[in-house]
Structure 1
Amino acid sequence: MWNSENIELLKQLWSRGQSAGQIAERLDCSRSAVTAKLQRLGLRRAHKPPTSKPMILPARSTKSSDAKHSRPMRRAQKKAKREEYRQQALYEMLAQAVKNTR
């Protein structure tokens, strides 16, 4: 499989920047075979330089409407609703008890 012609073609395609998958298609072999041969030959890609235009993300807002700050308020509101529900349930149970005693 790996004759001198294929090895030279492998080196040329790799130096041009083609991927191991693209080289494998060209040589009619598996991608794994190409990556193994590249490792045995000691061929590696150089690290990519950082992009010239890095993506800059906007700063997070510190307003009270931020999700972090509104989450405790939501929990407090839910807790208050639970307490109101419990109180209402107690009144209903008390009313039922009064009806049953008559």
Structure 2
Amino acid sequence: ADWIRVSVEDSHPYRPKALERDYAQTGGRGLLLVREITLEAGGTCDVEHTASGGKIVWALLPLTPDAVVVSALTPVSQEERGPATSPRPAP
């Protein structure tokens, strides 16, 4: 009840990394922005591989200031995650 999990999934096998700030770069900042905004809000985020070879980029954000920060290394149960934010189409 105190957290919301937002995720985006695709079927591409490339696992992105948050790039360091490089003001000369014109792209590639998506994961950096997700990470920085999530950390500032007191949440956590990560990238996980899917069984089909793709990836899921997710962020876990507190809905209340009293929520406890969860480490990206701490597994989050399906009950804590709640229902998926967007249903995946059936294969």
**Does TM, scored on the shorter chain, surpass 0.5?**
no
Pick the TM interval, shorter chain. under 0.3
Structure 2 length-normalised TM:
0.21
Higher strand share: 2
Structure number with bigger Rg: 1
Structure 1 length-normalised TM:
0.19
